[in-house]
Structure 1
Amino acid sequence: MGRSRGGLTTKIHALVDAEGRPIRLKLTEGQAHDGRSAADMLDTIQPGNILLADRAYDSDALREKMSARGAWANVRAMPNRVKTFPFSAWVYRQRNAVERFFNKLKHFRAVATRYDKRDDNFLASIQLASIRIWLRSYESVS
């Protein structure tokens, strides 16, 4: 999808719930900025929710958008940021739900190897894998 020195690259943006189940998925070019690319995904965040994101999503616009929605953006600030914001390291540790989702997603061969050349087909295979992740969360373990 996107061209860089390493070849064609694609980023997967995911908004997951507290259980690590995907809510919104989006693909962007590998060279696109994370914060600007995923701004439209945040429309599903409700008042009282907490957004946990990594440093790539640190921007004043994102924090203002979340506060206008009644949500709190617990995003680790970039090291060169002058203005500081409230940040809870304990809450930020819960962000591993996103990392666990990507780990589960990479267990699907079609996603891990990216055989699909078109971005719509690749997004479809990611969505199918996400459906299977959702279904596994409802399976009985006993």
Structure 2
Amino acid sequence: MLIHGILPVIPSRKGRSAPQKTDWRRDRDRNRIERMFNHLKQMRRIATRYEKTALSFMSFLNIAAARFSISSFFNVT
């Protein structure tokens, strides 16, 4: 089903009578993006938006994204 030009990416449930085809590559990308936003929202400063200007907020968002991507390269326990 196509609504507003957006194709569904989330796979259908096992018990569905007419399961939809799923593009697993797009689903994997969607999942990675959702996990990234979840990690960014865990940082209190970003979630509550302490910065007053858009430039400082975007700068801190870039720093947080870089920190997240760098930590994904190392096995931190």
| TM-score band w.r.t. shorter chain | 0.5 to 0.7
Quote the offset at 1:113 in angstroms.
Answer: 0.6
- The C-alpha deviation readout for 1:43-86, integer Å capped at 9, x for no partner, is xxxxxxxxxxxx77x4xxxxxxxxxxxxxxxx516xxxxxxxxx
Q: Is residue 135 of structure 1 aligned with residue 70 of structure 2?
A: yes
Equivalent pairs, count: 62
Q: Hey, which of these two has a bigger chunk of strand by percent?
A: 1
1:93 is aligned, of 16, 27, 30, to 27
Partner residue in 1 for 2:48: 113
Q: Hey, which of these two has a bigger chunk of helix by percent?
A: 2
Quote the offset at 1:140 in angstroms.
Answer: 2.5
Moved over 4 A (4+): none
Quote the offset at 1:141 in angstroms.
Answer: 4.8
Structure 2: distance between partners of 1:106 and 1:120: 18
The one-letter code of the counterpart of 2:69 is W
Structure 1: distance between partners of 2:43 and 2:76: 21
Partner residue in 1 for 2:15: none
Partner residue in 2 for 1:17: none
Structure 1: distance between partners of 2:67 and 2:60: 11
Partner residue in 2 for 1:102: 37
Structure 2 counterpart SS, 1:138: coil
Structure number with the bigger relative contact order (C-alpha 8 A, sep ≥ 6) is 1
Pair member with larger Rg:
2
- Percent identity over the alignment? 31
Quote the offset at 1:122 in angstroms.
Answer: 0.5
Q: Runs of 5+ in structure 2 lacking a partner?
A: 9-20
The one-letter code of the counterpart of 1:101 is M
Cα RMSD of the aligned pairs, angstroms, is: 2.6
Quote the offset at 1:131 in angstroms.
Answer: 0.9
Structure 2: distance between partners of 1:100 and 1:107: 11
